[in-house]
Amino acid sequence: MPLLRFDLIEGRSKSELKALLDAAHRAMLAAFKVPERDRYQIVHEHKRSRMIVEDTGLDIPRTDDVIILQVTTRPRGREAKELFYRLLVEELERSCGIAPSDVMVSMVENTDEDWSFGHGRAQFLTGELAGASGED
């Protein structure tokens, strides 16, 4: 946890997708200080005509490399979120050649009771996960 959902235009190779997911994971590890195996990533690929990503009037250029990333997570502080945004675009640009202008992120926060990792239990609440009483 966090859960990362990537929406992007179809056409990337398997190795390009792996590089993208690995880069995002490195940024998440550094910014949120979660365990290495705390990795939950889903990629949704769309036809070009199925994604409209404008710039909210900020004059941000977009290309077909655009990524919308939705991060579902326990509450995070402002500094951790801003660090994640910065590290994410740095990692994606360095590892994948994706321009920072092509990366849009939305954080969705929830609480410990909103997570079950299997077996029908809320592991943050039962204490089965280390650090179960607050942020990762």
Q: Is residue 61 annotated as part of the catalytic site, yes or no?
A: no
Structure-block tokens of residue 9: 């235009």
Structure-block tokens of residue 37: 């195996």
* Cα gap 98→89, rounded to integer Å: 8
CA 1 to centroid of chain Cα atoms = 10
CA-based end-to-end distance of the chain: 8
8 A C-beta contact, residue 123 and residue 115: yes
Beta bridge partners of 45: 8
8 A C-beta contact, residue 44 and residue 9: no
Cite the active site residues.
Answer: 2
